[in-house]
Every structure is written in structure tokens, then in C-alpha cells.
Amino acid sequence: MMAADRPASEPLLPGATLGVLGGGQLGRMFTLAAKVMGYRVVVLDPDPHSPAGAVADVHLKAPYTDAVALLRMGELCQAITTEFENVPAAALHTLARRCRVAPAPEILAVAQDRLLEKTRAVELGCATAPFANIDDEGDLVGAWSRIGSPALLKTRRMGYDGKGQAQVDDLDDLVAAYTALGGVPCLLEARLVLACELSVVLSRNVHDQIASFPPAENQHRNGILDVSIVPARVPDTVIDQARAMAAGLARGLDYVGVMAVEFFVLADGRLVFNEMAPRPHNSGHYTLDACASDQFQQQVRALCGLPPADTRLLTPVVMVNLLGEVWQPQPAWDRLLAHPGVQLHLYGKAEARPGRKMGHYNCLAPSLDAALALAERTRAELGIADA
């Protein structure tokens, strides 16, 4: 039976070959999880020094649109996933003719465009911040009259980690920001007063089996995730609502794979959808050490049509991101690893640059207060600035 003819409901068992488009840290951690579970892995990434390619069974060093590389990947793999959402749609459609692809190209298209993403979220019952679409400069005045101050201007495509957005407080700000962002299609969003930010990482397979990890409370610095705190310090009713809304999105989109859904928690406790990521997520890295399974094992299971694993939280945890500015020239690993409750994860990147995600570590402790204290102490030892 050719891979393309294999029923989507038929499970792929250890010994099968899985593929991942993208060779960064998320692809690396997927590859490691799959290999531990007994699968072979093919990575397609043009970077010869790809972190995922370094640990894969096969690293196809080619652009994502390379016809020969895509043909080879389709021949080798029984199922293929992605580590980032901005994979060219044509590549996914080519692969889908030969083997199982999850998530589906159509769902990635929704996640690639903030307007489509928020529109679908509203259709599926989620509240969002008020927003207005801006196709060109002729829409600026109308958008401002609808949203007003304070607001955020965000490019509809390719924005992440605080890139592609700007705060605006009046119409002159909006015009200047739109020009600075290149005059591309944008969304203007109302800037809300937040109590905190949450994310839910979940998995869903072709049998509509859904499992979500405990929501993480996230804090950002310069638009990049700084720390994730679990359990989140919000009422249980908010936790339950976040999990239910995330599951409703996954089911409504007929999503297969691991997905992260980010929410704003307002001062009155209301939950507002921010965005989704059709892949494992930085805020889910705490699962590598603090849960009965982790988000990358779930990604393998969902791709292979297997039931999700146990997602119980085993210990309070604070995840701390490690960015390139900590390398000056080398972090104080001896001080960090002197703490028994610290679990370090480095991503195999050769060059450290400011703002580049180089790794993370999880602070585990019997209580959340103790985990927070350990995170605060170790951050100070590494010279990480406060948010």
C-alpha cells in the first residue's frame, strides 16, 4: 500500500518514518521525541547547521519549495508535520498527495493570516479584542474611527515574538506605523488592560480525541516569551474556560496535531482569544519535565493517529527562556546546574544573537512559590533582566 493510500485512521506504529518541515528547536525536540518512541525522522530544512537536522536520520538540505527534495520526502515518509506555520502552501499540497500531512494546509493558511485567524475564532464562539482590517492606506482613517486609542497595529502575516507590530495612540501614530511596517495589509486592534496572559497547548487526533495540558501563565519581555508559570494563578473557572475554548477551536477547525491557543485574561476575569499556533509552543516547554507526557510526544501521537498520552501536571514549574544576550560570552552553567530543581534544555544553535531563542530551563519545586523563587534566583545568577 502506498503511503498516500493508507487510511488516515490507521495508526502508524514505531518503525515508521515521520517527516518534519523546519529544522529549528521545535523540529529538534519533535525529532528527539519521535526517535525515543522508535520512529525514524526526516527533516527538510535548507540550513546545513539545522538543530533538527543534526539529530534526524535524514536531513534534506534544500528549500521548502524544492521539487526534488519534496518528492524524496514524500517517498521516505508515511506522515509529515511542520514546526512553523509559514511553510509554503504549495509544498504541503505536494506532500499531501503522497502521504499523511498534519496539520492540513488549509488550517495553516488560517494561522498565517491574522484576519482569517480572528474571523474563524469569532465564528467558533471566542471573544476577541475589537479589530479592524487595513488592506491599504485608504483604510487607515476608517479603522482608526472604529478602534481608537490605545491600539496595536499588527501585520496580518509573518509577525511573531513582537515583530510586525507597533503601539499607536493617535491617527498620526497609525500612519507612521503603517509606513514603518511596509504598507502591507494589517489589523488594528484595541489595546486591552490585562490581568495576565494564558496559553493552552492541546493535541487532537483524527478520532477527535483531545487532550490539553494545564494552561500556562505567560510573561513577556520585548514581545518575546520570558517565563511561563504553571499552575497559572487564575481561578479554576478561567482554567476550565480556556481549555474548553481551545478544544472548541481545534474541533471547529477539524485540527489534527498539537496546537497552542493564547488568551488574554481581563481584569474582570473575561477570557479573550489572542492567537493560535498550529504546532508545539514555547509556552509548552514546561511539559518536558513537569508533566506525565510532553507536547512533542503528543505531536508524534497525533500525527500517527494514536491516542493522546496523560497530560497531568506532576510538579509546579516555572519555565525560563534563554535568549542570545545571556551568552556574554558564556552563561554561568555551573551556577545554574548547581540547583537540583533546574532542568536545562539547549537547542544546538551555533551562534547566539540578541533575541534569538537558544534554550530554556525548567524550575521544579514542591510549591509554586518555591519554583518562582528558584526562577528569580537563577535568572539573577545568569544576568537575565527582569521583564
Residue 158: the pLDDT is 74
State mean pLDDT over 27-42. 98
Residue-wise pLDDT for 296-317, tens only, equals 999 999 999 999 999 999 999 9
Cα angle, residue 54 at apex, residues 357 and 226 outer, rounded to 5°: 10
* Residues 212 and 270 sit within 8 Å (Cβ to Cβ): no
Strand partners, 40: 17
In the chain, the amino acid numbered 124 is L
Residue 2: the pLDDT is 42
Residue-wise pLDDT for 103-114, tens only, equals 999 999 898 999
pLDDT interval class at 283 (50, 70, 90): very high
Residue 385: the pLDDT is 76
- 94, 92, 113, 112: which is closest to 103 by C-alpha? 92
Residue 159: the pLDDT is 65
pTM of the model: 0.94
Residue 6 has pLDDT above 70, yes or no: no
Q: Is the dihedral of CA 315, 318, 322, 328 positive or negative?
A: negative
- Angle at which helix 114-123 crosses helix 236-252, to 10 degrees, equals 110
The cell for 207 is: 478520532
CA distances from 166 to 180, 188, 375 (A): 9, 10, 30
Residue 71: the pLDDT is 96
Residue 4: the pLDDT is 46
Count, residues in the chain: 387
- Taking residue 315's Cβ as centre, other Cβ atoms within 10 Å add up to 18
- 254, 261, 321: which is closest to 118 by C-alpha? 261
Domains of the chain: 3-101 (3.40.50.20), 130-190 (3.30.1490.20), 194-382 (3.30.470.20)
